[in-house]
Structure 1
């Protein structure tokens, strides 16, 4: 046999032996991987196309703020946090000033009772006074007298169709107005309270005057003046 043929045969056998040993090593490595895997799970074969995962790059707060600012268009003001937003302007409610009443002359009032006057379809109550109804009866049984009509007559005799001055918002009004009125310098409400022809409202400045009149038993607090 020729030496070249022998060398070629030996080389081929060496190659075949190397291949067999490599295959056996691979089989042993796969078996070892399967043995180390948890029971019930199959070890995943490595993917040749999968690239090793690189750790996520970290970024500092200063870098993040610079990137955020670069996104805002030039000339736009930076957004303010909610807690620093400008407060809403407070609504200021201004109360209307009270209308100042003026002294106005009213001609020839008609007396309806001791405390109420009329001017055509308009009526006026004297301030601080509880009008005495014209049909009121005063006095004990057997000595009763028409104190309401007497009080109305007394006020009518005082006025005698003369003009009076009243503190009003306007000289024209609708319905019933309440006002302080005077005949010259004489306050009509005070005159009624002093003479006992009308009671004073609770809390009225005329209440102390009416109380003194009641104690003195004048007007509606006393007896029939026609018997005196």
Structure 2
């Protein structure tokens, strides 16, 4: 067995040597690439440039700095404006709904029942001023003192008459309004009452203010308009008085007719 293994190994070495020999012969048969060789005698000799010749290379000069201009000159001419009327552009819409958010209302104690305003003054039918507050009654459209009304083709100053009627109703009595005591002074829309009487309801029911559409006094306002009360009716009748030296004479009022006496039948 050992002799056979030695024989096989010797045969393998012989085959490997034969393959190496054949490969070397094939590599030698490949032609090497031709390389051109330049003879140094064929290169012309470089002569120095003659004096005064323009073919000499000029020495390099540093780049010239560009001319500077003033950044902020003393005299600046404004650009010409186009002739024509200026038009104000419409404001852009808010970026989000958060910018329209209102501050939260202050939390009031459970037993809070409104703020009492003493000595109120009616600046118009539906507006009250007291203690630095200007309260506009909620659910009511105030009637300005300069407003005029027309009834059957006749115009009359209903705004002044409505304010006078409102002042007569208040009579400087304290009103209780739903105004937080710590709120900022200024115009506030709130509900007010005197005792158990709702002030806004009284104004609308008597026709001295207009009810907001869809508000709590809309039905009372429709009834006052149908009954021609206040600003929806005619101007109030003026009583003419004549002053005399003896005093003031009022127009005579006719006495009601006397009823016939009843006859007792026995």
- Structure 1 and Structure 2 fold alike (TM over 0.5): yes
> Offset at 1:198?
0.5
Q: Contact 1:104–1:171 at 8 Å: present in 2 too?
A: no
Does the alignment pair 1:225 with 2:233?
A: no
Q: CA 1:109/1:27 → structure 2, altered by over 3 Å: closer, same or farther? A: same
**TM-score, normalised relative to structure 1:** 0.56
Q: How does 1:78-89 map to 2 (within 5 A)?
A: none
Of 99, 105, 108, the residue aligned with 2:107 is 99
- Corresponding position of 1:139: 150
Q: Which runs of 5+ in 1 are unaligned?
A: 1-21, 41-94
The whole-number CA distance in structure 2 between the counterparts of 1:193 and 1:119 is 22
- Corresponding position of 1:159: 170
| DSSP 3-state at the match of 2:150 | coil
The whole-number CA distance in structure 1 between the counterparts of 2:200 and 2:186 is 20
| DSSP 3-state at the match of 1:157 | helix
The whole-number CA distance in structure 2 between the counterparts of 1:25 and 1:121 is 120
Q: Contact 2:151–2:233 at 8 Å: present in 1 too?
A: no
- Corresponding position of 1:13: none
Structure with the larger RCO, 1 or 2 (CA within 8 Å, 6+ apart)? 1
Does the alignment pair 1:28 with 2:22?
A: yes
- Corresponding position of 2:216: 205
Q: Which runs of 5+ in 2 are unaligned?
A: 1-15, 32-102, 240-266
The whole-number CA distance in structure 2 between the counterparts of 1:190 and 1:24 is 127
> Offset at 1:140?
4.6
CA-based RMSD of the aligned residues comes to 3.4
- Corresponding position of 1:71: none
Q: Which has the higher helix share?
A: 1
Q: Contact 1:180–1:189 at 8 Å: present in 2 too?
A: yes
**TM-score, normalised relative to structure 2:** 0.49
Of 180, 196, 203, the residue aligned with 1:185 is 196
The whole-number CA distance in structure 1 between the counterparts of 2:159 and 2:195 is 25
> Offset at 1:122?
2.8
